[in-house]
Structure 1
Amino acid sequence: MSDRRPWVLRMTWHDLCFMHWPVPPEHLAPTLPRGLELDTRNGLAWLGVVPFTMTGVSPRGVPDVPGVSTFPELNLRTYVTAGGIGGVWFYSLDAASPLAVRLARALFHLPYFDARMWASHEQGVTRYASLRTHRGAPPGRFAGAYRPVGEPITALPGSLEDWLTNRLYLYSADPAGRVYRGRIHHQAWPLRRAEAVIRENTLTDPLNVTLAGEPHLLHAETLDVRADWVERVR
């Protein structure tokens, strides 16, 4: 994939929480399209639930649009490789922006879904709820609260924290099963440990996967991001 093409989309992510659970790889490998391989660590795959809020979402050279450029987003993800390049595979991305949902589905082949969402941030605690409303999509609900704790940490190369978060490519697939890859650009994650209370989470129900035990939690307060077009993986 060429890195010479300029980025096409900008955004800022706020109050993001990585909630990760280890999963036997045989539960996820059959869910991937042809051409992608599950990325594992110490024999385990990982599923991530990631709630956050987006601001400043806009194409390159276009100013923010009130009521359009800011919205909550929630994704369910795992990690994959193709041609030796690791990246993120999204099972779902719920967003409270009908326009963003349709553009992302059409232009980036990402499984975005309409949702009614609510997020608040007060005294360091983010409270978050999402109800998927997309016509024809499987149900999906999430509700919880989280906050960062402790001092900033550095995700050292080779650490689990680095493996889970240092992913500069995303993968997607169109209805015909053709796989695409896109690059994102940002500085190092401003990570801290986190605490969370998850009151409801049905995002993994379509995968027939039960998330057992306490998740591995990381928090990032603010991160500026740029995204490239996706290109087909040959």
Structure 2
Amino acid sequence: MKTPTMAQRLAERERPEGAPVMRQRWARLLFLHWAWEPAAIQATLPPGLTVDLHEGRAWVGVVPFFMERVRPRGLPAVPGISNFLELNVRTYVHDAQGRPGVWFYSLDANQWLAVKVARALFHLPYEHAKMSATVTSRAAGNGCDVDFRSRRAGEKKKSRFSYQTPAETKAKEAKRGSLEFFLVERYRLFAWAGRGGRLFSGRVHHTPYRITSAPQATWSDQTMALAGFDVAGRAPEHVAVARAVDVEIWPLKQVAERARCESESGEGLGIGAGAPA
């Protein structure tokens, strides 16, 4: 197991070699994070991954946002297909080589084709959901108010998030070494697939998020509960909103078997973890 160095975290910002397979835009992002007991998170991870820690604490988060202009490289966006809503639950991990990234417990979207493609090509746990969002613009340059709602297929309860996107002049890049840098500066995802179990890694590239705190945000805990995390009555320790970024997506690559075997990670793949920090 190799803990990521700051040099490795910064290196993840660099644009990968080769051609991306997809392009998209992530807009009106809200980040809500809770500290969690590292051992509880580790128990949910597949072999080859280790929970990434900031000052000894693991973190789980929920992120509602707008997916826009989603299309394969070289093709235009398609009305009715390329724009949809997403709501994901994640934690932060690294592999045996010390490469930091994101592990997703769930990803809800209101575009059935996107759900099927993401499951097939990226081995991600997407779920179809009925979702809606109302966006109310404020004065020029001052962002907008967002009312974001979601109900996963087969579930009765809804999730609701209300927040304000940041003004252009107030959003800043996260300071290196800060908690916000640790949480939002992530350019790699990990996925698990196959009957025998194979660990994959995929890269994304975008300019660093420009973020600001979001003290006015409100949220419900339904999505976290569905992922196995009980945060009822517990406010998140980190709440932030981000400006939109244009994103390039690279294809998945299998993590080397040797690197997996050398990892001292847990043997989980459970859903959720019951012990907050």
Q: Secondary structure at the match of 1:22?
A: strand
Corresponding residue for residue 47 of structure 2: 34
Change (3 A) 1:13 1:7: same
SS at match of 2:113: helix
What is the TM-score with the length of structure 2 in the denominator?
Answer: 0.78
Residue among 50, 59, 82 paired with 1:46: 59
2:211 aligned with 1:197: no
How far did 1:41 drift?
1.0
Where in structure 1 are there 5+ consecutive unaligned residues?
none
Greater relative contact order (Cα < 8 A, sep 6+): 2
Task: Report the equivalent of 1:142.
Answer: 159
Aligned to 2:23: 10
Structure showing greater radius of gyration is 2
The one-character-per-residue Cα deviations of 1:56-114 (angstroms, maximum 9, x if unpaired) are 00000111111000000010000000021000001011001100100000001011110
**How many residue pairs were aligned?**
229
- Give, in whole Å, the separation in 2 of the partners of 1:43 and 1:120: 38
**Could you tell me which residue of structure 2 aligns to residue 214 of structure 1?**
236
Name the CA distance, whole Å, in 2 between partners of 1:230 and 1:167: 16
Query: Which segments of structure 1 move beyond 6 Å, counting only runs of 4 or more?
Result: none
Q: Distance in 2 between matches of 1:140 and 1:77?
A: 20
Where do 5+ consecutive residues of structure 2 fail to align? 1-14, 139-143, 257-277
Name the amino acid aligned to 1:184: V
TM-score (norm 1): 0.92
Contact kept in structure 2, 1:38 and 1:79, CA below 8 Å: yes
Residue 117 in 1 paired to residue 138 in 2?
Answer: no
Query: Secondary structure of the equivalent of 2:162?
Result: strand
| Partner in structure 2 of residue 99 of structure 1 | 113
Greater mean alpha carbon deviation, residues 79-88 or residues 150-159: 150-159
One-letter code aligned to 2:58: A
Paired-residue identity, %? 39
Q: Do the aligned partners of 2:209 and 2:243 also contact (CA within 8 Å) in 1?
A: no
CA RMSD, 1 decimal: 1.9
How far off its partner does 1:204 sit? 2.7
Work out the CA distance in 2 between the residues paired with 1:41 and 1:230.
27
SS of alignment partner, residue 42 of structure 1: coil
